[in-house]
Amino acid sequence: MSKKIRIAVQKSGRLQEQSVKLLKECGLSFSNGPNRLKTETYNFPAEILFLRDDDIPQYVEDNVADIGIVGENVFIEKQKDISLIERLDFSKCRLSIAVPREKDYEGIASINGKKIATSYPNIVQQFLTENNITAEIHEISGSVEIAPGIGLADAICDIVSTGSTLLSNGLKEVETVMKSEAVLIANNTLDAETQVLLEKLIFRIKAVNTAKN
């Protein structure tokens, strides 16, 4: 039996639909029932694993999956020993710091000594360090944008695309910490056969994305 490349994609959420669409455009055909963890593909020797996006870098590092699709923000935050292979040109967003609209903000120094709520503590800490700022980071896993309103934090760092969520929570965006898009990540120790399959897939991804632009 010949090798299959194991591809991890988000099981539900903002990356799911376009991850599946890209793989299908690359010629992999498979059914993705809502409750399936794993599915085989026709036309290409692959297996798709549907996982929580935040867990994908760990699964790729641990060699449970060979490659995966996640937001660049998640790839950077998780700090795993894996590689970014290709930017995929969808799920574009940014990670920004926001503060209550009524607060004066005079540059990044205004954050000094404050509390920042975020789901991305490593990325925020790195940004603060680069800017010589000391602030207290509160890690929370969801609904970060409500933290200032309930007195949990002075500022937040969260994903922004249009800014409408910030607006409806009385917040204003004051700093861009990083830009992000969906990326293809890979295990660093793929065997030769899997590496060949990865290269075939990358070739197809490039062809698909070039045709779109």
User: Which residues contact ligand ATP by CB under 6 A?
Assistant: 13-15, 52-54, 71, 73-74, 91-93, 142, 159, 161, 180
Tell me the C-alpha distance between 9 and 157, whole Å: 25
101 contact, one of Zn ion, ligand ATP, none, CB 5-8 Å limit per kind: none
Q: Which does 113 bind (CB under 5 to 8 A by kind): ligand ATP, Zn ion, none?
A: none
Question: CA-to-CA distance for 195 and 152, rounded, in angstroms?
Answer: 47
Q: What residues from 34 to 53 belong to the interface with Zn ion (CB under 5 A)?
A: 53
Task: Answer for the pair 180, 71: CB distance below 8 angstroms, yes or no.
Answer: yes
Bridge partner list, 100: 171
Check if the beta carbon of residue 183 is closer than 8 Å to that of residue 88: yes
3-state secondary structure of 88: coil
Site for Zn ion in 44-103 (CB under 5 A): 53-54
Q: Using the minimum distance from each CB to ligand ATP, give the nearer residue, 118 or 187.
A: 118
Q: How far apart are CA 9 and CA 191, in angstroms?
A: 21
Q: Which residues pair with 158 in a beta bridge?
A: 96
Between residues 32 and 195, which has the closer beta carbon with respect to ligand ATP? 32
Select 46 or 95, whichever has its Cβ closest to ligand ATP. 95
> Which option in Zn ion, ligand ATP, none does residue 14 bind, with CB closer than 5 to 8 A by kind?
ligand ATP
Q: Which is nearer to ligand ATP, 93 or 208 (CB)?
A: 93
Distance in Å, CB of 24 to ligand ATP, minimum: 19
Number of chain positions touching Zn ion (CB under 5 A): 2
**CB neighbourhood size of 166 (10 A):** 19
* Alpha carbons 128 and 124: distance in angstroms, whole number: 6
Q: How far is the CB of 65 from ligand ATP (least distance, A)?
A: 17
Provide the minimum distance between the beta carbon of 106 and Zn ion in the complex, in angstroms, as a whole number.
Answer: 34
Among residues 159, 168, 204, the alpha carbon closest in space to that of 54 is found at 159
Comparison of 53 and 154: residue with beta carbon closer to Zn ion: 53
> Using CA atoms, how far apart are residues 65 and 52, in angstroms rounded to an integer?
13
Q: Supply the minimum distance, in Å, between the C-beta of residue 132 and ligand ATP.
A: 27
For the bound state, the minimum distance from the C-beta of residue 74 to Zn ion, rounded and expressed in Å, comes to 7
Question: Measured at the alpha carbon of residue 66, what is the angle toward residues 62 and 72, in degrees to the nearest 5?
Answer: 85
Q: Which is nearer to ligand ATP, 154 or 158 (CB)?
A: 158
Q: Which residues make up the interface to Zn ion (CB under 5 A)?
A: 53-54
